[in-house]
Amino acid sequence: MSYVFVGPDAILAQVANLARINSAITEANAIAAAQTTGMQAVAADQVSTMVAALLGSYAQNYQNIGAQMAAVHDQIVQNLASGAAAYASAEATAQQSLAAINAPAQALLGRPLIGDGANGETVGGVGQPGGDGGILWGNGGKGGDSTNPGVAGGNGGSAGLFGNGGAGGKGANSASGNGGTGGAGGQGGWLFGGGGAGGVGGNGGTGSFAGGAGGVGGNSWLIGAGGPGGQGGLGGSAGGLGGPGGAGGNVGLLGNGGPGGLGGDNTNAGGTSGRGGVGGNGGLLNGNGGAGGDGGTAYSSAGPGGDGGKAGLISGFGGSGGDGGNALPLVNDPGRGGGGGYGGPGGIVGGGGNGGNGGSGLNTPDSGGPGNSGGPAGFFGNGGAGGIGGVGSGPGGYGGLGGLLVGNGGAGGAGGVGTVLSDHGGPGGYGGNTYTIGSGGHGGAGGDGLGTGAGGTGGAGGHSGSWLGNGGGGGRGGNTSMAGAGGAGGDGGNSQLVGDGGDGGDGGTGATSGTGGAGGSGGTLFGRPGNHGGP
């Protein structure tokens, strides 16, 4: 393995280029010298003679400077050439010494002390595992890609004390069976280094065969980042399930969890796509949870998003939930969007992750995917926001709980709008409550209805902490056309001891206006009640 950015071969190649440049400049100077150093006067008068002499002296000075620069250029070229040769010789000697050190370790333990692991090859259609990196220093090799139908990809090699894990190989496609699973990413260095990425799952064959699951991302033992999960393979042509995304890698002590892989698509009639992978967990002392992977796209039923990973125990933010997959338009197919993933919980100091948004639905009422709930905070931090409901009346997700000691509740997600005639708007999610000190989250707005469909109901505001804080405002009701009824506004949240109640949300507009939400009550010790929402 090389530890330099510019190797001897590259330097020697540039030495040749520099030599050619110097030769070209020297040749041009020689041609110019004949025309400029011996310049003749244009006339026999004294002024012409003096001008010719002056110009000739300038030309002679230029030639002298050019000769000096050429000498400097030659010296630079010689120094580069000799330096590259000396380095190449030293590197060869070092490689011999390193080989002598590595040989006993390789024979005894099956891996060198220093050096990268070899990439796995494809043998007989089967991807081989990547080699492990050196015990002291080295990256794991990439897993080999499989080509035999339905065979899993090779796993990535693990690193040593320092280094990154190798990526997993691709699972094989299949013409008449399920796709192969992607290879797992290799483990990161025991002391420092990131996990390898999971391999992509293979595609399912003709018929109702499933795509292969994406490979899981490699873990990082102490300090580093978890590897991302691999994407799931495509589902088969007759309703085969898309492969699920691989889970993101976890971290031991310091670092962020890896993101989950994307769910595999299925863009055939009647197909169902894969769910997104779960995000990896952050390090114990500090680290954010990895984001959940998004669900795959499908005509019939789109896959849900993966849940966000947990934050580190001491500090960090929870990972965001993945978005649900979107449905594609196709006649006589229900076209349901996937639900969003849960937001991950925060650490002792840290907020929860946002909930994933619901995927868009088509063709049928209530086909939008639901937004999911935001993650709860730890002791100090805000709850995550709820995900937005998918187009097609998807309900908004609830806001996450605020911190046990200090923190606000998360806002509720807005409801999705209607997509077909007479489709109502989705309800807004409730705002998150909190425990001790902090305000409740605002409720999400209701989605707008379509045609004669009613507007969605606004979400209620969250309640404040038991000691101090305001209630969250209620969400606005969804609007609709003049043929439908507006959605009711959400009620405002209550304040417990000291603080104001949340205002009720306004009702939505329509042929009949929605009723406004009631205001929340003020604190029992101090605070005013919230205002009632308008019609």
HEC sequence for 90-130: HHHHHHHHHHHHHHHHHHHHCCCCECCCCCCCEECCEECCC
Cross-strand partners of 485: 512
One-letter amino acid identity for 408?
Answer: N
Can you tell me the distance from the alpha carbon of 93 to that of 340, in angstroms, rounded to the nearest whole number? Answer: 57
- pLDDT attached to residue 268: 83
Parse the chain into domains and list their residue ranges.
8-105
Cβ pair 242, 231 in contact under 8 A: no
Question: What is the phi/psi pair of residue 13, to 5°?
Answer: -65, -40
Reported as a single tens digit per residue, the pLDDT across 396-445 is 999 999 999 999 999 999 999 998 878 899 999 999 999 999 999 999 99
pTM: 0.82
**Superfamily of domain 8-105, CATH level 4:** HP0062-like domain (1.10.287.850)
Dump pLDDT digits (tens) for 233-277: 999 888 889 999 999 999 999 999 999 999 999 988 888 999 999
Amino acid at the residue 182: G
Query: H helices of 110-179, where?
Result: none
Tell me how far apart the alpha carbons of residues 290 and 48 are, in angstroms, rounded to a whole number: 82
CA-CA-CA-CA dihedral for 29, 31, 37, 38, to nearest 10:
170
36-62 confidence digits (pLDDT tens): 666 666 666 776 677 667 666 766 776
CA distance 106 to 371: 53
The DSSP 8-state label assigned to residue 266 in this structure reads B
Here the tokens at position 299 are 């005509």
Give Cα separations from 28 to 55, 81, 246 (angstroms): 18, 25, 63
- Between CA 371 and CA 355 the distance in angstroms is 7
**pLDDT reported for residue 7:** 60
pLDDT of residue 2: 44
β-pair partners for 301? 272, 336
